[in-house]
Each structure stands twice: as structure tokens, then as C-alpha cells.
Amino acid sequence: ILCAESCSADCTPAIPAPQQEAFRRLYEHWCENEFHCAHAVFHHLQDAIPVSEGLLNGSSGFMGGTLFTGMTCSALTAGVMALGLRLGQIETSHLRVLHMVGLMAVRGDAFADDVNAFNGAMNLGNRLAQEFTAEFGSTQCRAITQCDFSTTEGVQRYIDDGGAVRCRAMAQSVAFRVRSMIQPVDAAESVQGVHSKTA
């Protein structure tokens, strides 16, 4: 039945031709400028987080507000990913999870860093988004660039206005902020390592 439905389905492309052309032109422009929203952040952080081919392949769709939709800035998305890669943890203690749920029930601070293993990275990701908004006015690509990437006119405006230069600066700013969030943790771990060796 599935085969019959697939064979009889309308094979019209999911993305209309004018939109495909806009996406093609924007992607071509970024290739010419050797720019990729998410990858620019990871490359700035390659001495602080492991930047593997798998990470780059897995994040290849994070561009243009994630696949040209103009939604959450893909550089910001990469910054949150970098925080998770370096600091993220999954809570494995059932008691700590129950404690967190209990705090939620009584409207306590269930998201404090020390309540759960993943709270620290989550809170830093939220802080990164807040700082990004304060600097650029929004977390949304379309609001920041004032361009609609689904139209050739919007893409041309982005190109004419030097959008790639501004986006490169945003990616650098995100990487700088992520690095400043990672460094205190690295310093604390280094001190702990020294104490454990001397103990």
C-alpha cells in the first residue's frame, strides 16, 4: 500500500523553485566568502571543544536561522551546542531527579546549577541567549538581518548590505562568550586535578 501511495503521489518539489533559487544564491554567496554560520563558531572554539568531521557534518544544516528559515540564529545554536559538548551532562541519579521534581512542585529553584547535572550547561545556554539578545537585539536571524532568505530580493539585500561580514562578527562574538563561560570551569577542573594529585 505504501509503495502504491508513493508511486501515485504528487512529485512536486517540497520547496518551490523561486525559494530554491534564493537558497542557492545565499549558499553560493556563503561558499564564496568561506562562511557557515555554525561552523564559524566551532572553528573559533576548536582549541576548547573537539571539532570533529562528525560535528561539522551533523551541524551542516545550521545556517540561515537553521536551513534558511530565519528563525534562531545558527551561530547562537552552535554556541549552545558547544556549551553542551564541553559542559553538558545527563543526570543519572534518580534521587537528584526526584529532588528536582520536588523543588518544582513547591516552586523552589529546581534549575539551580547544583540541583541537577544538566542544569549548569542549560543555565549557561540561557545566559548566552540573553547576552546575544542584548548585543544583537534578538535571537532570530530574520529580525537581526532584516532579510527574508526565502526570496531572491531578501537574499540580494543581505548580500548588498554586507550580511556575511556582520554574521561572521556575530559568530566570533558567540565563540568569545562561550569561551569566557568555559574558562572558569576549566580553571576549576585544573585546580581540582592538582589537589587530587597532591592528596
Average per-residue pLDDT for the chain: 90
For residue 4, what pLDDT band results from cuts at 50, 70 and 90? low
| DSSP state string for 107-166 | T--TTSTTTSTTHHHHHHHHHHHHHHHHHHS-SBHHHHH---TTSHHHHHHHHHTTHHHH
Which pLDDT score is estimated for 56?
Answer: 96
Distance CA 55, CA 34 (A): 18
Which pLDDT score is estimated for 9?
Answer: 60
Backbone angles phi, psi at 137, to 5 degrees: 90, -15
The DSSP secondary-structure symbol of 72 reads: B
- Do 178 and 83 touch, CB atoms closer than 8 A? yes
Facing residues of 140 across strands? 72
- Do 100 and 184 touch, CB atoms closer than 8 A? no
The DSSP secondary-structure symbol of 49 reads: S
Report pTM: 0.84
pLDDT tens digits, residue range 105-161? Answer: 999 999 999 999 999 999 999 999 999 999 999 999 999 999 999 999 999 999 999
Which pLDDT score is estimated for 15?
Answer: 84
- Provide the percentage of residues in the chain whose pLDDT is more than 70: 86
Name the percent of the chain in helix, strand, coil, to the closest 5.
Answer: 65, 0, 35
pLDDT tens digits, residue range 64-121? Answer: 999 899 999 999 999 999 999 999 999 999 999 999 999 999 999 999 999 999 999 9
Check the CA dihedral 105-107-112-118 and report its sign.
Answer: positive
